[in-house]
Amino acid sequence: MGLRIHFVVDPHGWCCMGLIVFVWLYNFFLIPKIVLFPHYEEGHIPGILIIKREFWELCNKCNLMRPKRSHHCSRCGHCVRRMDHHCPWINNCVGEDNHWLFLQLCFYTELLTCYALMFSFCHYYYFLPLKKRNLVRNVYIH
């Protein structure tokens, strides 16, 4: 048996998709040519609005515009700004937006691990010998 693809004809969905494509095309092509470039040539707007397009590049895997220094995560399937790595423990990419939170997670995990090791050490090397001593003392007393 092959995989069956279920296609639903939804006029409302096609209308919404057409509107989104229209807005995207309008913003990507017409706004720079009609609004930005003429006003830049007349000196009404700063050049930074025109230069900002140079800080973006096309991702060759997802074919979307992404900021420079972004990387495409093969596990998540999207581009992440200043990506460090994909962490399987949090099931998310570590990048510019959550790097500090990831470092906090690592710090508190290490702190709790040290806390647990301290209590394990106390249990095996202090409380168990103390318990054995009390058992031996109770045997001699009775």
Catalytic residues: 87
Task: Give the CA radius of gyration of the chain.
Answer: 31
Q: Are strands 70-72 and 65-67 parallel, antiparallel or unpaired?
A: unpaired
DSSP characters over the chain: -PPPPP----HHHHHHHHHHHHHHHIIIIIIIIIIIHHHHHHTSS-THHHHGGGGEEE-TTT--EEETTEEE-TTT-SEEET--EEETTTTEEE-TTTHHHHHHHHHHHHHHHHHHHHHHHHIIIIIHHHHHHHHHHHHHH-
Distance CA(116)–CA(103), nearest Å, equals 20
